[in-house]
Chains A and B, each alone.
Chain A
Amino acid sequence: EVQLVESGGGSVQPGRSLRLSCAASGFTFDDYAMHWVRQPPGKGLEWVSGISWNSGIATYADSVKGRFTISRDNAKNSLYLQMNSLRPEDTALYYCAKDLYYNNGPFDLWGQGTLVTVSS
């Protein structure tokens, strides 16, 4: 089955760190770019970060630049998001999403999301 499964979410205090994981299956993972998209409760979608098929290009939204790091392990069919210096405004459902292409496409497969709550 073609799917993405996120894990690693939870409740943390401001300033702490969290690492999200996304396990991919059912497709050739290293053929495609991958992304993280978040959605605060009751609000719209915000693209967070993306990484090309070979990890050669990693890009970030200004709101997370310098605090979050995206990475992937093609041998393990896995995508990661290291989130440091977390803020209350980072509270959201975090989705892992597959690019339609090896780079710079729309997102044609999404996971069900993992919830991150940042609160004291």
Chain B
Amino acid sequence: EIVLTQSPGTLSLSPGERATLSCRASQSIDSSFLAWYQQKHGQAPRLLIYGASNRATGIPDRFSGSGSGTDFTLTISRLEPEDFAVYYCQQYVSIPPKTFGGGTKVEI
């Protein structure tokens, strides 16, 4: 099973600042199968990034993804008030399980 470790657990930032979130895999994965989700309190998750760097429909361009192999990054260039939430990475290679990371909380 591929284990995803996200860091930091919590990121305390101010609106307008840059956020850099890390996701490390226990073994190398094809970047085509790495996604990022945003979950606000009391809401379902929302797909932000897939294939490591492709923004999902309707996602603002302040969100960007990068990385390969075992190290992946989600960057929010300038935090807006609505961006404070929990972010999860996920690998969805064909062999199950399609694991999620433990999440990074971005707080004000």
Contact = CB atoms under 8 A, between A and B. Distances in A.
A110 B90 CA distance: 15
Given A44-B103, A60-B96, A61-B96, A106 B45 contact: no
B98 A47 contact: yes
Contact of A47 (B43, B47, B94, B97): B97
Given A108-B56, A111-B44, A59 B103 contact: no
Contacts, number: 61
A113 B98 contact: no
B47 A106 contact: yes
A108 B57 CA distance: 9
Interface residues of A, number: 22
B102 interface: yes
Prevailing SS type, chain B contact patch: loop
B72 interface: no
Interface centre among A60, A62, A107, A110 (most CB of B within 10 A): A107
Given A100-B50, A110-B46, A47 B99 contact: yes
A106 B92 contact: yes
Nearest to B34: A106
A61 B97 contact: yes
A99 to B, nearest CB: 9
Given A45-B39, A100-B47, A110-B46, 13 more contacts: A44-B102, A45-B45, A45-B103, A47-B90, A47-B99, A59-B96, A60-B96, A100-B50, A104-B92, A106-B50, A107-B37, A108-B47, A112-B43
Interface of A: 35, 37, 44-47, 50, 59-62, 95, 100, 104-108, 110-113
7 interchain residue pairs of minimum CB distance:
A106-B35, A110-B44, A59-B96, A106-B50, A45-B100, A47-B98, A61-B97
10 contacts: A44-B88, A45-B100, A45-B103, A46-B100, A47-B97, A61-B96, A62-B97, A106-B90, A108-B57, A112-B44
